[in-house]
Amino acid sequence: MTEGVQGRSLELYFIDGKPDGMLTAEVFNWTGHVLMTPRTQIAQALKRDEATRTGVYILFGERDGELMAYIGEAEEIGKRIRNHAVAKDWWTSAVLVTTAGDSLHKAHVKYLESRLVEIAQGIGSVPLENGNTPPRPSLSEAHIANMEVFLDTLLMVLPALRIDMFLSNKRPAKPAAEDRATRVAPAFELISDRLGLKASAVLDGSDFIVEAGSIARVDWVGNEVNDAGYRKLREELLREGVLVTDGKSTRFTENYAFKSPSAAAAVVTGRPASGPAEWRVKGTRRTYKEWEAEQLAAEEDAAS
């Protein structure tokens, strides 16, 4: 574990014992309480005590084949969601964010709603039905600090529930001196003179980060049907401006964290690719796979 970074413990409770049913999420020493429910169980969910509390909520679903979300707040969260069940037919699941002691008041949840909309719109991975960002209410400096701490933990909990719309894969560039001082894993590169590819990447914790300035293939050349996932990711990066193309080359405008070396390799090469085989330790012929095997062998030797 990185020095100075403390782990957190998340408790998930599957209410009816099913992984796709209602669940609650709580973190030790955090006042927040999260209830996630499929729409098929919304009647049961709104009978629970959480639905009578003040909080924020997020509705998820699809419209015309595209992901969609809506973020709202209410003093009695269940009443508002009942209204949405009548007025909105596109959503398929809901997340209710409250506190165990019902300690949030109207200004608190309006602040949280505004910040969540602001963050989601800034990332832009899931369109919001909200439209404009609601204004932040007037809160004291102390209450704003409290809400930001509450929000930090909430933004840790939501990705654990596979809600990634508040999670940015963009990474700020580090000054060169700081980067050299903190880097412990080697840098990697994916180069092809024939295809005009010249990409560099680093490991940072669990992130495989392709660095700004990397050059990728101009067009996607993989199978349009079978390779839809990586192709869609590449198209997303083009829409967001992480990738820009001038017809002759495609370039990363900023650092971007991929979930795996293979996802990064696919975006760079314009086709599905085995990241462990494609990426090489910078300045060598050693593949990522060979480097990884060395790390595992070293760990095994140290343990024996």
Q: For residues 253 and 214, give the distance between their C-alpha atoms in angstroms, rounded to a whole number.
A: 8
pLDDT for the residue 122: 86
Task: Kindly tell me if the per-residue pLDDT of 78 is higher than 80.
Answer: yes
Task: Kindly tell me if the per-residue pLDDT of 190 is higher than 90.
Answer: yes
pLDDT for the residue 154: 96
pLDDT for the residue 1: 40
Domain ranges of the chain: 10-160, 172-303
Tokens at 155, concatenated:
């933004």
> Which helix (H) or strand (E) segment is 291 a member of?
helix 288-303
Tokens at 265, concatenated:
């390799």
Q: Do residues 266 and 221 touch, judged by C-beta distance below 8 A?
A: no
Spatial CB neighbours of 166, under 8 Å, sequence gap ≥ 6: 116, 119, 120, 123, 155, 158, 159
Nearest to 51 by CA among 65, 41, 61: 41
Q: For residues 266 and 272, give the distance between their C-alpha atoms in angstroms, rounded to a whole number.
A: 5
Q: What is the pLDDT of residues 92-145, one digit of tens each?
A: 999 999 998 899 999 999 999 999 999 998 888 888 998 788 899 999 999 999
pLDDT for the residue 19: 87
